[in-house]
Amino acid sequence: MANEAHPCPCDIGHRMEYGGMGREVQVEHIQAYVTKPPFDTGKAVIVIQDIFGWQLPNTRYMADMIAGNGYTTIVPDFFVGQEPWHPSGDWSTFPEWLKTRDARKIDKEVDAVLKYLKQQCHAQKIGAVGFCWGGVAVHHVMMKYPEFRAGVSVYGIVKDSEDVHSLRNPTLFIFAENDAVIPLEQVSLLTQKLKKHCKVEYQIKTFSGQTHGFVHRKREDCSAEDKPYIDEARRNLLEWLHKYV
């Protein structure tokens, strides 16, 4: 996701060739991709897309990875049928495109998905994981919905003009040191505000040498230098879910 004040490319990185282990379903007014775990645990995770949409194979790969660790996962179309951003799009038009896709105005969709998970999947404990645009959405959800057990916000933009510290659920924030989209100053500001005001468990991890999108947009085999960081971030994500959900 690009910073609205200074739009810049959000590189799609490596678009995976991945078919998926789940199935597409209709959840009230939105479509969604759902994957069941090997065994029913009564736990579920909402996986929230980046700007490239709910059908991006990379996001479905992450959802399937989480499902394989004991969670029903669902990747809803939070753009509600609107076109996702295209990698070859004109970045000068990005701010206008984003106006109709506000990551903090998703409550109607979240409510529908929560109802589906509770009634159709019999989920009793629910978490949320989001990437890029979805990281902003997770941050919003963690401040609004007490029924979530935990959340993981992966390189979601932090704005200094907004309340960022009133978390209601344990939240892990993952950032990249060399993120052209999220300056380290934003991460430092978030750290300061959470340290001063936050009343629930949280953790902020910044991965050295990494760039925006590294957790879900880089193939594990892309370079020997990157692989340990990708593996660690994904492991941290799962550990956070296991601890709190």
Query: What are 231-244's pLDDT values in tens digits?
Result: 999 999 999 999 99
Q: What are phi and psi of 25, to 5 degrees?
A: -135, 165
Those residues whose C-beta lies under 8 Å from the C-beta of residue 108, and which sit 6 or more positions away, are 29
How far apart CA 37 and CA 43 sit, in angstroms, is 9
pTM over 0.85: yes
Q: In the chain, where are the structural domains located?
A: 18-244
Tokens of 156: 């979601």
Those residues whose C-beta lies under 8 Å from the C-beta of residue 120, and which sit 6 or more positions away, are none
Task: Enter the CATH code of domain 18-244.
Answer: 3.40.50.1820
Catalytic residue selected from 139, 140, 212, 216: 212
The yes-or-no answer on residue 6 being catalytic is no
Catalytic residue selected from 64, 132, 216, 226: 132
pLDDT tens sequence across 56-87: 999 999 999 999 999 999 999 999 999 999 98
Q: How far is CA 100 from the centre of its chain?
A: 19
